[in-house]
Amino acid sequence: MTYNKERHKQFVIRLQDLKNQGKNLFLENSEEDSELSKYNIGVEEQVFWIHRENFVLIMKNFLENILDFDEFETAFSLLYEEVGKEVNMFKIDLEQIDKF
């Protein structure tokens, strides 16, 4: 699937409108929900890909005994959480989607 920023933004607006009405996009239009999910997955993959070197560095430091397991687990988890927050912003914030 080719990424279409404008279509992604339209789906996010529709999703937010439906949520404000107490409705669910999946129940209203499962095809739109599926397409939005594909955009969200693509965004998530891209954001994690951008941060891949940070994940690799943490793993490398662990394998080279620079970090012990607790330090590795903490560093990896914090990075994963930070990237997850960034992903979530790209999924719901129209200004962030414009930057994508």
What average pLDDT does the structure give for the chain?
A: 93
| Domain ranges within the chain, ordered by starting residue | 5-94
Q: How confident is the model at residue 92, as a pLDDT?
A: 78
48 CB-contact burial (10 Å; exposed 0-12 / middle 13-18 / buried 19+): middle
Does residue 59 have a pLDDT over 90?
Answer: yes
pLDDT-based confidence at 90, cuts 50/70/90?
confident
**Count of residues in the chain:** 100
Q: How confident is the model at residue 89, as a pLDDT?
A: 86
Q: How confident is the model at residue 57, as a pLDDT?
A: 98
